[in-house]
Amino acid sequence: MKGFFSWAGRALVFFILALIGTEILLNLLKSPSLQFYRDQKLLHRYNPVYYVDLAPNQDIYIRHFAGKWEGRFRTNSLGMRGLEEPDLNKPQLACLGDSLVMGFGVSDEDTFCNLLNGIELKGGARQTLNLAVDAYGSLGALRRLKDMAPKLKNLKEVLFFVSGNDFTIPEELRAKGILPDDEIDEIRNRDPNFNRNFRIQFELSRASYTLQALKLAFEQLKVQYGFTLFRLRSEWNSTGLSSASTAEQTPAKYMRDSFFRISETKCDPAKTDIFEKTNVFAVPNPDVMSKEEYKKNIVPNRFRITFPVGKKNRLLVLWNHFRKSHNKHMTKWWNTQDREEFG
């Protein structure tokens, strides 16, 4: 028994030393791929109501590990994107939503909420305040609004942008275990232990570089497991032996498709349009079409939904394209969805 405790003690000391050594090494090396996620983690903090929000008084420069983008992220004393503090003497307009509205992928001055600062509406020029936080669904945005609205004494309007992945997801992704944000929120709300467990892992991975790296590795394994399981299930269904196989999926067809291939017709070297991207649609751009055509075919009619958060406050849902100068940032954002899983 004494030998067991001696062995366990040595193992514990070795584990602690290895953990400390790894922590020091990671902080010294600052690997770009890990530092990208590390900076994002430090930008956020735990929130007991909606799990995570932006930490106040932060100034962090985040670089994408593949060089896709870089930007400066600053927050004010209330944990809102940008340095500007709420001004009681100015009517305020708040921007609410997820990472698209927060401006993930661009610096503070390039977020469309900042570009709208000073916009003239009925009642005068508005001071815009960015309440958005990445990884929110519509339920998280509602909780964020209820929490922040009382702190903004002169709030007049709220621009609320709903993302499609809040409530819907392609069936192919759903089959791989990826769910809309609102469904994920419902699952979390039904778990009485989620808030406690989330806080423990969030605070630990925020405090320790090593624990965050382990968390990221575990999340990647979960994703790979989901994709592998999906491929195996699809392959099994295609054999025609599964109860989920369709009428067209038969063992004979599976064997024929697996072992017999029809020779492909060789390309005609005389043709000049072989490599044209006939299936790729051009991105709508107001710079290459008339303003009237762009508005008619691309920009949808905006609509409003009134949602009272106070006597004079309104929730406005606006679907619209903002300035042409911001289009490149939106396109860049959609192409750089490399963020750590929620929390």
pLDDT of residue 267: 62
pLDDT of residue 334: 36
Q: What is the pLDDT of residue 60?
A: 96
Cβ contacts of 148 within 8 Å, gap of 6 or more: 78, 80, 94, 131
pTM of the model: 0.70
Residue 308 has pLDDT above 60, yes or no: no
Spacing of C-alpha 309 from chain mean position: 26
Residue with tokens 């406005």: 316
pLDDT at 260: 80
Beta strands 51-54 and 44-47: pairing type? antiparallel
**Structural domains of the chain in order of their starting residue, each with its CATH number:** 57-193+312-342 (3.40.50), 218-259 (no CATH)
For residue 149, pLDDT over 90 is answered with yes
* Pick from 39-53, 79-93, 291-305: least confident: 291-305
Give residue-wise pLDDT tens across range 1-56: 667 778 888 888 888 999 899 999 998 988 888 999 999 999 999 999 999 999 99
Total residues belonging to the chain = 343
Cα(180)–Cα(194) distance, integer angstroms: 18
